[in-house]
Structure 1
Amino acid sequence: MRRWTGLLAVAALCGAACDGKKSTDRPTRAQLRKTGAATVEVIPSDGQLPYCMLYTVSEKGVIRQLTLTRENRSIRCDANKPVAHTSFRIPVQEGKVRLYIFFSDDRIPAGPVAQQLYELRGQERINAMDLRLPGRVFVETLEFTPEEGGTAVTGTVVGAGGEPAPEGTGVPVLSDGGTEGGLGAMDEAP
């Protein structure tokens, strides 16, 4: 009788743990939406922690913080909306990048995260247990390879259809890429 009970317990445990799914079959916390040859949006999935930070680590070893703010902390990231309501341009010359998205339950400082990424740059995969961060933190790693193509136009007036307007038909463009009376390249909306 004891033998059957033990065998049934093992079968029940195996059935619960071995349901045919691989350990990598977990829901993704974010997805990439390619918006151009070298631009991408990061879209958090439903049910994620409310704050996030984005970093890229290129094949050449360059680490970039994509969500840089004045306070240098993580930002609010709403589900199903692009992070920072923007697309991020990935430099083609740096090759394929890994995007690290750090979701947290509180705003965390970005400096220590960047330092730890630098220390772990040779590691194949990075997870939340590798980092020394306060609170609950989840890490999603995605890959993106930028491609040559598209025509980048900076410092020009954009017409109603999103195309550059003919010269002399719009607002004067300043040397910083902004417009007279408008937002410059480094200015923020109120």
Structure 2
Amino acid sequence: MKRWSVVMAAVALCAGCEGNKKEDRPTRAQLRRTGPATVEVVPTDGQLPYCMLYTVSEKGVIRQLTLTRENRSIRCDPKKPVANTSFRIPVQEGKVRMYIFFSDDRIPAGPVAQQLYDLRGQDRINAMDLRLPGRVFVETLEFTPEESSPPVTGGVVGAGGELVDGGTSGGANGNGNAAPGTGVPVLADGGTLGGPAATEEAP
């Protein structure tokens, strides 16, 4: 009976150690929400110098976010947003799992995209699942886009105090004309697997 108690105590101790290991695992990148459906990806210190980003949505849509003319990984500096921009995640596709591939050299995106497509049904993907040259680490994060409320500009008041224009919403200006874009590049839109490039390579 005493031996059985010792064995159970050892098992509980080991389980606790394993849980601590998972909690203590360093995060290679962090997500910063910049809007209801936009997000920045920021590498932490000590990561490999190049990276590329993909998302896999709840509906199975795979998007390549870091698109360049050469279609290779880009320079990713620690504590700076990848590509110096925010990425917009389509709300209609639901929550996404974001894969950040860090590498010690610039690697072509084609083989990564193909392998990610082949492994899309797998719950988690790590570097051991991929056949890529050099050193490669994978960070997996999740992001849920949310619907944004359309802005309301109010009504234009004339000299007599009457409303000249009843006001607009949904991104139009006070004159009833469509307002310009917000300046957030829609890198995810048009960036479905195999789609055209939507941005230049970050310096």
Scaled by the length of structure 2, what TM-score is found?
Answer: 0.66
Flag structure 1 segments of 5+ consecutive residues without an equivalent: 1-10, 153-162, 174-185
* Equivalent-residue separation in structure 2 for 1:146 and 1:19 (angstroms): 32
* Equivalent-residue separation in structure 2 for 1:121 and 1:20 (angstroms): 27
Say which SS state the counterpart of residue 114 (structure 1) adopts.
helix
Query: What corresponds to 1:122 in structure 2?
Result: 121
Flag structure 2 segments of 5+ consecutive residues without an equivalent: 1-9, 152-170, 182-197
> Is the 2:48–2:103 contact (alpha carbons within 8 Å) kept by the matching residues of 1?
yes
Say which SS state the counterpart of residue 115 (structure 2) adopts.
helix
Q: Are residues 1:103 and 2:102 paired?
A: yes
Deviation string, structure 1 residues 104-145 (Cα, Å, up to 9, x no partner): 000000011000010000000000000000000000000000
In structure 2, the CA distance between the partners of 1:19 and 1:148, relative to structure 1 (3 Å rule), is closer
* Equivalent-residue separation in structure 2 for 1:88 and 1:40 (angstroms): 5
* Equivalent-residue separation in structure 2 for 1:65 and 1:59 (angstroms): 15
Scaled by the length of structure 1, what TM-score is found?
Answer: 0.71
Deviation string, structure 1 residues 15-67 (Cα, Å, up to 9, x no partner): 9xx49723352010000000000000000000000000000000000000000
**How do residues 1-190 of structure 1 correspond to structure 2 at under 5 angstroms?**
18=17, 21-151=20-150
**Identity across aligned pairs (percent)?**
81
Say which SS state the counterpart of residue 106 (structure 1) adopts.
coil
* Equivalent-residue separation in structure 1 for 2:63 and 2:71 (angstroms): 13
* Equivalent-residue separation in structure 2 for 1:187 and 1:56 (angstroms): 17
Say which SS state the counterpart of residue 116 (structure 2) adopts.
helix
Q: Which amino acid aligns with 2:90?
A: P
CA RMSD between the two structures: 3.1
Query: What corresponds to 2:7 in structure 1?
Result: none
When you count strand as a share of all residues, which structure comes out higher?
2
* Equivalent-residue separation in structure 1 for 2:67 and 2:30 (angstroms): 20
Q: Which amino acid aligns with 2:89?
A: I
* Equivalent-residue separation in structure 1 for 2:111 and 2:150 (angstroms): 36
Say which SS state the counterpart of residue 115 (structure 1) adopts.
helix
Deviation string, structure 1 residues 66-111 (Cα, Å, up to 9, x no partner): 0000000000000000000000000000000000000000000001
* Equivalent-residue separation in structure 2 for 1:75 and 1:143 (angstroms): 21
- Which structure has more relative contact order (CA 8 Å, sep 6+)? It is 2
* Equivalent-residue separation in structure 2 for 1:187 and 1:98 (angstroms): 21
Q: Which amino acid aligns with 1:61?
A: G
